[in-house]
Amino acid sequence: MDYISQFTTNFRHVAGADNVVADELSRVEEVDSPMDNQALAVAQQQDQELRDFRQSTSSHQLKEMLIPRTTTPVTCDVSTPAARPFITQQFRKAAFNVIHRLSHTGVKATVKLVTRFVWPSVKADCRK
């Protein structure tokens, strides 16, 4: 509310039955972070797929860096303006859910949003 009030002061309550565009902003108490960045960092250290990915000839520029809530560096792709963490197999569903819970867009839009993360088959996995 504090952030939104910087842009508008027109707030109105919309009853749940009338709120056809209910989203996460309506249920702030439901927002949490299912991604454990520290556990991801530890998982990356043992991940064979990441080692193989490092050896592949792709346009990704992988770099280890500290990200919020970590004391161990996380491998991220820095070839884009925003660093994108490499997601190991056991964290892919959680990464997908972080994006998908925000809005239920179509497949194309979901793929675009999920590519804030990196893994070898990210686009194909989103279409499953």
Per-residue pLDDT of the chain (128 residues; tens, 9 = 90+): 666 666 666 667 777 666 655 554 555 444 455 678 899 999 999 999 999 999 987 889 999 999 888 899 999 999 999 999 999 999 999 888 888 777 667 788 888 888 889 998 888 888 77
* Sheet strands (E) in the chain: 62-65, 74-77, 84-85
In a domain, 110, yes or no: yes
User: Which CATH number belongs to the domain containing residue 109 in this structure?
Assistant: 1.10.340
Residue at 43 is within a domain: yes
Among 121, 111, 59, 127, which Cα is nearest to 88's?
A: 121
Residue 22 belongs to some domain of the structure = no
Q: Could you tell me the residue range of the domain that residue 105 belongs to?
A: 33-126
114/98 Cα distance (integer angstroms): 9
Quickly list DSSP for 65-102. E--TT-SS-EEEE-SSSS-EEBPPGGGHHHHHHHHHTT
Residue 52 lies in a domain: yes
For residue 79, tell me if it sits in a domain: yes
